Copies of this chain bind each other. A is one copy, B any other.
Amino acid sequence: MKVAILGMGSVGKGLMQVISERDLGLVVTAVADSRSAIMDRDGISIDEVLEAKRLRGYCGDTSLSAMDVVTKGTYDVLVEVTPTNALTGEPGLSHILAALDRGRHVVTSNKGPIAREYERLRRCAAEKGVLLRYEATVGGAIPIIHTLEQGLAGNRVLAIFGVLNGTCNYILCRMAAEGLSYEQALLEAREMGYAEADPTYDVKGIDPAIKLVILANTFWKKPVQLEDVEVTGIDMLTNDALRLAEEQDCTIRLIAEAIPDRGILRVAPRLLPLSHPLVVDGTLNAITIETDMAGEITLIGKGAGSVETASAIIGDLLYIRDFHEGRHKKTP
């Protein structure tokens, strides 16, 4: 199966390395970064492309763009991992739409396009008979979309509750464990590389709200938007609140919740018993899916990281490969 990769950040490079090292039946036929692209219908040399990127800062021919790859490249699946704005969805959105329009499968780790235009993208993929997979957009390495769509297939999802932002979880853990103020814990999170210079997107709850929209659209019949989510961040939380929680054997976590029957779509700090499965440590993510047959299923794992994201993308690529090749036989 031929794969074109847009984006040569840590995820794109990590993905190329995994594809070159493992015998997964995947051939990379095109790669693009922000300045150049390289295409070869018979497969490019991943080593050479990575080396070129390392030496001169771009991967291929500077007269070619990512959109050239999308519209002219030879590939079965487009992997869209460009640095894309999580709110506008660009440039990822345009790439994905153009690839689907050409009847190509798409795998992406970009939240923006999926959160903003899920319904449009889903329809477009369905019309063309191709797959759009986005496991890497939510919960890092946790195969939450696989679980919702395949593992729990046939179940009705009654609710989802999740810790979807590792930065906030880390800050809350440190406030509770060491009695730090929000400002002190944020500073520490920055020093550890868990929080960005401008932490607004995380601490105001926008990032988990975007992920919640993606999850809700995956199982909720009515399409939802970021504007539908009621969002409260953790930036107004005082250490007093955490101390009070502790007195009741509880703690506070930033919980994203989607409950279709009650129309609830919310991100807010919530009081949870210390023994609750969503009370996870550090930058971990955790998601509980409440269903009618399987009951409550909780998944816990690393919510971020380039290798973890590559893992989620590989899972999507192999899922598409199995359908693409009708390969439902295990090798004897």
Do A330 and B150 contact each other (CB < 8 Å), given the known contacts A293-B310, A294-B311, A314-B293?
no
CA distance A125 to B61 in the complex (A): 48
> Which residues from B are CB-within-8-Å of A308?
293-295
Task: Determine the chain B residues whose CB is within 8 A of the CB of A302 once the complex forms.
Answer: 294-296
| A299 part of interface (Cβ distance < 8 Å) | yes
A297 CB to closest chain B CB (Å) equals 4
CB under 8 Å from chain B, chain A span 113-149: 122-123, 125-127, 129-131, 141-143, 146-147
**Residue among A125, A155, A328 having the largest count of chain B Cβ atoms under 10 Å:** A328
Bound form: Cα–Cα A297–B297 in Å: 13
A153 is an interface residue with CB less than 8 A from chain B: yes
Whether A301 is near chain B, meaning CB under 8 Å from some CB there, is: yes
| Chain B residues with CB under 8 A of A154 | 18, 22, 24, 311, 314-315, 317-318
> With an 8 A cutoff between CB atoms, is A63 at the interface?
no
A311 to B297 alpha-carbon distance, docked (Å): 12
A39 to B326, CA, bound (A): 30
B153 touches A318 (CB 8 A): yes
- Give the residues in chain B near A201, CB-CB below 8 Å: none
**A328 and B298 form a contact (CB under 8 A):** no
Contacts A153-B314, A294-B308, A300-B277 given; does A323 touch B328 at CB 8 Å: yes
A151 lies within 8 A of chain B by Cβ? yes
Once bound together, how far apart are the Cα atoms of A126 and B322, in whole Å?
Answer: 15
Q: How far is A235 from B329 in the complex, measured between Cα atoms in Å?
A: 42
List 5 interface pairs A-B (beta carbons < 8 Å), by A numbering. Answer: A126-B329, A129-B328, A130-B329, A146-B146, A277-B300
The chain A residues found within 8 Å of chain B, CB to CB, are: 18, 22, 24, 122-123, 125-127, 129-131, 141-143, 146-147, 150-155, 275, 277, 280-281, 291, 293-302, 305, 307-308, 310-312, 314-315, 317-319, 322-323, 326, 328-332
